[in-house]
Amino acid sequence: MSVIESKTELFTVAGADTGDSGPGSGVVNPRKIVTTFERYIQPCLAEVLGCTLFIFVGCGSVIENAGVPGSIQPALAHGLALAIVIAVLGEISGGHFNPAVSVSVCVSGGLDVILLGPYILSQIVGGMTGAGLAKAVYSIISYDSAAGGAFNVVKTSGNIGSATLAEMVMTLFLSLVVCMGAVNGRTRTPLAPLCIGLTVTANILAGRSVSGGCMNPARAFGPAVMANYWEYHWIYWVGPVAGALITGSLVRLLFGDQKTRLVLK
């Protein structure tokens, strides 16, 4: 068996053997994952670690950027950190590091539904750990001035509807790049980690002044817990999950390959 054949596909942890599990198929053959640890426990641990590192960097970039106009520093930090953790841990867990992404991949058929709950729990734990590390590293003054990296844009602007819609659209964009670039067999590309990181960067540059550019409930939840900041927190669950569900529906009904589409085969 070659090295390529022995690795799982980025973002894809399927639960059933469809008979087409070679390189480029988009489906992991469970016979190639030889232990329960590698199939269930190791992916969750990778999600915890990846979320911890990603969210630590993300919170740190916001804390360091507090009071400075512009979104370049947070945008680049989030995008680069996400691309890196996907590249190094994606072969273990699929490299979701985002509950909304896990929902969209699950709906698209790339994640066994039995793993969806453990993945989301792992991501939330990683989010709290990363935010906790940021709280431990940075000074109290810097930390408090940035609300610990939590999202406080809506409290200032009051644009609840616009923020929710922005989170939905930005997450739709992000999850579509994930599902089409890393899961769907016909459109999958080895440049997926870079494309996903760039999408996060572009979304933050475009939407930080409206909603903060979250796209990730775990990224919102961790800092909210550590800073005890819950103003309009629900936006960062409703918007991203709605965007993820729309993406999953689009892939399943219209844009997925013949194996993925449920209709119009």
Could you tell me how far CA 204 lies from the centroid of its own chain? Answer: 14
Q: pTM score, two decimals?
A: 0.87
Q: What is the mean pLDDT of residues 61-76?
A: 87
Q: Using CA atoms, how far apart are residues 10 and 88, in angstroms rounded to an integer?
A: 10
Within a domain: residue 4? no
Q: How confident is the model at residue 11 (pLDDT cuts 50, 70, 90)?
A: low
Neighbours of 113 (CB within 10 A): 10
80 has a pLDDT exceeding 70:
yes
The sign one gets for the Cα dihedral 179, 185, 186, 190 is: positive
Secondary structure letter of residue 111 according to DSSP: B
Within a domain: residue 213? yes
- Among the ranges given (24-33, 182-191, 217-226, 252-261), the one the predictor scored with the smallest mean pLDDT: 24-33
Within a domain: residue 185? yes
Within a domain: residue 28? no
Give the pLDDT of residue 262.
85
Within a domain: residue 27? no
Helix (H) or strand (E) holding 106: helix 99-107
Q: What is the mean pLDDT of residues 74-98?
A: 97
Encoding tokens for residue 35?
């232990």
Within a domain: residue 2? no
Within a domain: residue 125? yes
Q: Using CA atoms, how far apart are residues 92 and 76, in angstroms rounded to an integer?
A: 25
User: What SS3 class is residue 13?
Assistant: strand
228 has a pLDDT exceeding 50:
yes
Q: What is the mean pLDDT of residues 40-61?
A: 97
pLDDT digits (tens, 9 = 90+) for 145-177: 999 999 989 987 779 999 999 999 999 999 999
Helix (H) or strand (E) holding 51: helix 42-64
pLDDT digits (tens, 9 = 90+) for 109-145: 999 999 999 999 999 999 999 999 999 999 999 999 9
Within a domain: residue 3? no
Residue 51 structural domain:
10-15+33-255
Question: Among candidates 112, 76, 82, 109, which has minimal Cα distance to 97?
Answer: 82
Give the pLDDT of residue 53.
98
Question: Among candidates 166, 171, 169, 237, which has minimal Cα distance to 207?
Answer: 166
Encoding tokens for residue 259?
């194996």
Give the pLDDT of residue 34.
65
Give the pLDDT of residue 12.
56
The CATH number assigned to the domain holding 195 equals 1.20.1080.10
Q: Round the average pLDDT of the chain to a whole number and report it.
A: 88
Q: What is the mean pLDDT of residues 70-92?
A: 95
What is the number of structural domains in the chain? 1
| Contact (Cβ atoms closer than 8 angstroms) between residue 265 and residue 124 | no
